[in-house]
A and B are shown apart, each in its own frame.
Chain A
């Protein structure tokens, strides 16, 4: 009954702490695109793939008392930090299931900036298109982010790194 909740808790547990709602959104989208069993539905918003369902799930977990959400002010805007509390740890220990390779991928993603994960998730959204077309899409749809060609290449490399990590 709570399988999808437990998967989100697993992500936070493996990450230790996730700083930023956007970062959490993109991490789970990337994991989903890498075929980890996440069910949350994503749509392309103006700032990349975004899931309203995930937002609701995280809020539920906070309301149920399993996740800690800390709000802080950073240069004029609000930022949220997510971590697991004791109840969350207990819930996961009792009912969680092991998702092979997920932990390693999550930790690798968590080391990256939210800006970079936004780029990676956008590449994955257009992954069915040729690289040149994806680059054009990123430059058009994310013009304000000013991603360079080098960063886009880094994004592709990062996806290969994650795929390699799953295959090991």
Chain B
């Protein structure tokens, strides 16, 4: 009977002590997002994930930036220029400020979250073409934004995890807390544009929405960079393939 609480304590300690040893400053990962229908690939957009240092008078934070840009052949049909950024503690990846700037066709939205971890609240500002909305949202401890959560996956010590181990996370998306689950599926060797890589295969699931479900392959080295991602869409599959990786920490 004591096993379960002990396991829970172990898991909790594991997630609390997850320190960033994988993500450094100046890292740039470039991906190609494509649509796969019965093996026929159609390139849709370029996704870049970049890190940089941001200095304020009090501290130096890590800026995590993700950018999605459709290829020029798509721009006349459906132009996407999405920007997600998160300013985090470089050691624990705790977010302080999050920005989401969405430009999809004629749709525009900007969302800003200012985290206050002491009071467990997030001040949100949502801007659309004509409206601005301010709202303060209560959060649980450990709730992060989507970008810092994505980077946090790389701080997990997969060598300590057995196949099938779950980790629960909470993200704040569209001013709502969304619970998700990461399952470690084991090691797999795959061919990528940056060479043949042994990877940790993980499954990401959301409890409330099926749109966030997917499988991710992280390299089984100290950097744990995502090299391949696969997610289900109504017809076919969406794929994220690495094109280049520069400025890696290890």
Chains A and B belong together in one complex:
no
- Chain A residues with a Cβ under 8 A of chain B: none
- Chain B residues with a Cβ under 8 A of chain A: none
